[in-house]
Structure 1
Amino acid sequence: GSPNFHQIPINAPKCPFGNHQRDGHMQMEQPKGRVAYEPNSLSESSPRESPAKGFKSARITETGEKSRIRAESFADHYSQARQFYTSQTAHEQAHLASALVFELSKVEHVHVREAIVGHLRHIDEDLAGRVAKGLALEKMPDAPVAAASVQELEPSPALQIIGKMKDTLEGRAVGILIADGSDGSVIRNIKKAAMDAGAVVKIVAPKVGGAKLADGSMMPADGQLAGMPSVLFDAVAVILSDKGAKTLSMESAAIDFVRDAFGHLKAIAVDKGGKELLKIANVGHDAGIVDTKDKDAFIAAAKTRQWDREKLVRILA
């Protein structure tokens, strides 16, 4: 099945009906126009429901008149959204505001952006202000009339994600980037520490066959650098010789590996060569960048994300 299963002739009902779907698997039609929903402010001629001739409940006389009545709470469109927002940590609130700015920036019509910001004012004035600033609105839009008063519901920590993160590496993944000339003892120490903490460890090398270490032995790789980026791991270690760092400095996949790990607020363990690659990649330094000699500090940092780093890598709403 798919959102468009009803378009296949054998599945099609005798009475055609529409939905909001435009794309997706098994799309058999070529929708016209800019909108697939109502009410909307872009197409007055699009289909609308008929208050007079639309759906009506059947009157079942033997059990009394049947009616469809919603509780008054259905008119409260904002209280739960407000509770959700006020329950988040400061970092999560910034993420929500930035996500709204990102999505609304794709909306071409200014009046639609303003309408959404108006709704946000009922949820939280600070949120609405952050989004309005991120959209460069010249003035704050008016809030629409609320159908029901917004309630001040008690914030619930259960609605958080960051606040509920477990201080553990168990079940998470750590990637170790190596190359020819890497120090095998350092690799093994970091790998053992991560595995002892419950992590799954993957060795990443420029070649899928592995890398020849400083002692001349061959260390097999679990994946090739270009096909196993740092986005696949919860934390990474970069263990390189000086020559290995210089070689990887000319490999965009290696630069992306460390830049993405830093940008995604992950802990990074580095030896001397690893530090050199980070320097070449213009990656900054904070408490989440740990020397491989201090494996305990790396494991502690790897159990979470470096939220204080975020202000250094992106502009949030």
Structure 2
Amino acid sequence: SLVPLTVIGRMVLDRWPDNFFAETEQVAYCPANVPPGIDFSNDPLLQGRLFSYLDTQLSRLGGPNFHQIPVNAPKCPFANHQRDGHMQMNIPKGRVAYDPSSLQGDSPRESVDGFPSHATAPDDGRKGRVRAESFADHYSQARMFFRSLEAPEQAHLASALVFELSKVETVKVRERTVSHLRNIDDALAKRVADGLAMPALPEPAATQTPAQDFPKAPEVRIIGRTKDLLKGRCIGILFDEGSDAALIANLRKAADKAGASVKLVAPKIGGAKLSDGKTLAADGQLAGTPSVVFDAVAVVLSNDAAKKLSRESAAIDFVSDAWAHLKAIAADDGAQALLKVARVGNDAGVVEAEDAKAFLAAAATRQWAREPKVRTL
């Protein structure tokens, strides 16, 4: 029997994958797989994908039987005459691999009731592959996107272009790219050209349709649109021998209450003995758990531990990277020696570890005002 049309293509997104490779990397979307009675429109994009997707799956997933991988296999029983081939997981039985046949009566058969073999679309006039005039406008959308960003986001975009174009060895290609940027926004083109040390701006690239000035679209921004919440964020606490046990406990409790997860980092995975004489195990070793994996960090150290870690590059990087990545940093008095060596400055995002409320407020944001202190954009 045919699968009811109401459930074709249904996808329920209600959980994270249990195994990213098995359930995400091996997914094979193939629009050529349709039940009888459904046909393909003459949409050119679909027509191209009917070929390319199957070719991609054969190459990416190793052979013609990718539909037997659990994440791609249908949940309802099905039967066909496809057999053998590389990575065949089933054990097809019988003598025939076709229908109709007189040699085997229990092989898969078409429905005796029949079904429409294809969809018939009315042919009501001439058809042509005609592009709308808007297809010639290559720059208006890019201009709207760039001008809709906040200033730090615009700076990051310009720096990203400089970073990538700096890998391009051919000068003419770099100049050609900047010539396209001039049609998007001249200020962006100048920033990129300056980052590439171009002696002069190239002429704007020839365009059939000049870019239009659309209204700004705030919804494309990241800055200013996210809620200042700690739910889903992760805070790292660096500690060592003699760290203040009560202070660590207070920070963990406050972070947990705010919805953040907390990971404890120490020079040794076994942890360290705190000020109360009890040993606290670490979730990660300092050398293998950099601050880049956290949304904010707290550094709770004794004076002696801070002096010792001031000679450890991993500890210095832990703090300096958090500062450079505009993250909130909480530190107690003992940690100040490490912050000084890491050249951490003073702003609203650097707070006393004893003030958990102020730290958590800063941890829910990025310190964009700090950026000019740590890099040239």
TM bucket (normalised to shorter chain) is 0.7 to 0.9
- Of 81, 85, 102, which aligns to 2:142? 81
- Give the aligned partner of residue 94 of structure 2: none
1: distance between equivalents of 2:174 and 2:187?
17
- Give the aligned partner of residue 248 of structure 2: 187
What is the CA deviation profile of residues 203-260 of structure 1, one whole-angstrom value per residue up to 9, with x for unaligned ones? 1111111110012111121111112111110000000001111121122111110011
Normalised by the length of structure 2, the TM-score is: 0.68
- Of 187, 203, 211, which aligns to 2:264? 203
Opposite residue 223 of structure 2, the aligned amino acid is I
1:149, distance to aligned residue in structure 2 (A)? 2.2
Distance 1:234 1:3, change over 3 A: farther
2: distance between equivalents of 1:196 and 1:289?
21
1:163, distance to aligned residue in structure 2 (A)? 2.0
Say yes or no: does 1:234 pair with 2:290. Answer: no
Say yes or no: does 1:173 pair with 2:234. Answer: yes
Which structure 1 segments of 5+ residues have no match? 12-61
1: distance between equivalents of 2:137 and 2:145?
14
Normalised by the length of structure 1, the TM-score is: 0.80
1:281, distance to aligned residue in structure 2 (A)? 1.8
- Of 86, 95, 105, which aligns to 2:156? 95
- Give the aligned partner of residue 203 of structure 2: 142
What is the CA deviation profile of residues 107-131 of structure 1, one whole-angstrom value per residue up to 9, with x for unaligned ones? 1111111111111111001101111
- Give the aligned partner of residue 272 of structure 1: 333
Distance 1:98 1:9, change over 3 A: closer
- Of 258, 266, 269, which aligns to 2:319? 258
Check the 8 A contact 1:165/1:304 in 2, yes or no: no
- Of 129, 132, 144, which aligns to 1:71? 132
Larger radius of gyration: 2
Distance 1:199 1:9, change over 3 A: closer
- Of 210, 216, 232, which aligns to 2:277? 216
- Give the aligned partner of residue 249 of structure 1: 310
2:224 aligns to what SS in structure 1? helix
2: distance between equivalents of 1:270 and 1:7?
49
2:155 aligns to what SS in structure 1? helix
Opposite residue 302 of structure 1, the aligned amino acid is A
1: distance between equivalents of 2:348 and 2:241?
28
Does 1 or 2 have the higher relative contact order (CA < 8 Å, sep 6+)?
1
2: distance between equivalents of 1:5 and 1:91?
43
Check the 8 A contact 1:203/1:221 in 2, yes or no: yes
Which structure 2 segments of 5+ residues have no match? 1-25, 27-54, 65-122
Check the 8 A contact 1:207/1:225 in 2, yes or no: yes
- Give the aligned partner of residue 115 of structure 1: 176
- The CA RMSD over aligned residues, in Å, is 2.1
Give me the identity figure in percent.
59
- Give the aligned partner of residue 312 of structure 1: 373
Say yes or no: does 1:283 pair with 2:333. Answer: no
1:176 aligns to what SS in structure 2? strand
- Give the aligned partner of residue 15 of structure 1: none
1:145 aligns to what SS in structure 2? coil
Distance 1:297 1:113, change over 3 A: same
- Give the aligned partner of residue 114 of structure 2: none
Opposite residue 278 of structure 2, the aligned amino acid is S
2:371 aligns to what SS in structure 1? helix
Distance 1:219 1:9, change over 3 A: closer
2: distance between equivalents of 1:292 and 1:306?
17
1:144 aligns to what SS in structure 2? coil
1:8, distance to aligned residue in structure 2 (A)? 9.5
Say yes or no: does 1:130 pair with 2:198. Answer: no
1:283, distance to aligned residue in structure 2 (A)? 2.1
2: distance between equivalents of 1:296 and 1:274?
19
